[in-house]
Amino acid sequence: MEVRELGTSGLKVSALGLGCMGLSFGYGPATEKEQGIALIRSAFDRGVTFFDTAEAYGPYTNEELVGEAVQPFRDKVVIATKFGFKDGIPSNGLDSRPETIRHHVDAALQRLRTDRIDLLYQHRVDPAVPIEEVAGTVKELIAAGKVKHFGLSEAGAGAIRKAHAVQPVAALQSEYSLWWREPEQEVLPVLEELGIGFVPFSPLGKGFLTGAINEKTQFDSTDFRNVVPRFSAEARKANQKLVDVLGVIAEGKNVTRAQIALAWLLAQKPWIVPIPGTTKISRLEENMGAASVSLTAEELQSISTALQAVEVLGARYPAHLQANINR
């Protein structure tokens, strides 16, 4: 698989990474450990060298899973994890105090079975702790050899600039896809200016862009999509137009909707590295196949033109979670 550099950080990873959250958290019951390990190792066998986790996924169990899975080839991969919630539980609120960051790193190193974290993200900007203080703490951890690179997640342009001035930010992770293009307005220009890579999560619209979800789909009771306005039955019915557009384009190239959605992201900038997640080997193979799908300028323009006629319905987060975004 093609290798990409995240901005000008020197951190090089596979063009597509693997978002590991869904193996432990967010989309229903956790995957059996052996199945999760097998999927992560299958991703590595297919050229993936970038694995994304966080203390909040579980909490903690996803870091443990990733650590065990990549141990046989640890020095050949990049591990990214995140701090920023009280006790690793998002509903407990934010906590990016320096002592919390240091504690998380020491504990995460043990869970990940490693001596360094390749990319350490602040999961959400904490208004109670100056971003400069957060960046300074990570800078100290980098000097200590415990962390290699600093990242932010769902941060706004102002926070990115302030943090970057203290400790260079290697990557920003935020949602970005054919049905959530807000980063194009302010964030992407700042990243390009500062030489920061971009790691889109939910590049397949939390599964919706694959065409496998419709208005009649029933989610598990523990699936967080049950509370996402964009996944209400009404919104799914309205947003089917986008899936239909993708279907026409995909059929014309003899590929899948998911592959078109990922190839579109890869075509936006050479420093963009999407991290689709899955629990199924078949979907993993499909997603990784997108790395070899190239879109011409004419095809990209036709996609853009087609999408202009589609209005996506529904907020991407419920109101209580949206408050933590883009500070």
Q: Name the pLDDT band for 326 (thresholds 50, 70, 90).
A: low
Compute the mean pLDDT over every residue in the chain, rounded to the nearest whole number: 95
What is the mean predicted confidence (pLDDT) over 186-195?
Answer: 98
pLDDT digits (tens, 9 = 90+) for 142-182: 999 999 999 999 999 999 999 999 999 999 999 999 999 99
* Residue 60 known to be catalytic: no
Catalytic-role residue among 27, 57, 60, 121: 57
3-state secondary structure the chain: CCEEECECCCCEEECCCEECHHHCCCECCCCCHHHHHHHHHHHHHCCCCEEECCCCCCCCHHHHHHHHHHHHHHHHCEEEEEECEHHHCHHHCECCCHHHHHHHHHHHHHHCCCCCEEEEEECCCCCCCCHHHHHHHHHHHHHCCCEEEEEEECCCHHHHHHHHHHCCEEEEEEECECCECHHHCCHHHHHHHHCEEEEEECCCHHHHHHCCCCCCCCCCCCEHHHHCHHHCHHHHHHHHHHHHHHHHHHHHHCCCHHHHHHHHHHHHCCCECCCCCCCCHHHHHHHHHHHHCCCCHHHHHHHHHHHHCCCCCCCCCCHHHHCCCCC
What's residue 318's pLDDT? Answer: 87
Q: How confident is the model at residue 308 (pLDDT cuts 50, 70, 90)?
A: confident
Q: pLDDT tier at 309 (50, 70, 90 boundaries)?
A: confident
Walk me through the domains of the chain, giving residue ranges and CATH numbers. Answer: 3-207+267-293 (3.20.20.100)
Q: Considering the chain, what percentage of its residues have pLDDT values greater than 70?
A: 98
pLDDT at 323 over 70: no
Read off the pLDDT of residues 93-110 as tens digits, 9 standing for 90 and up: 999 999 999 999 999 999
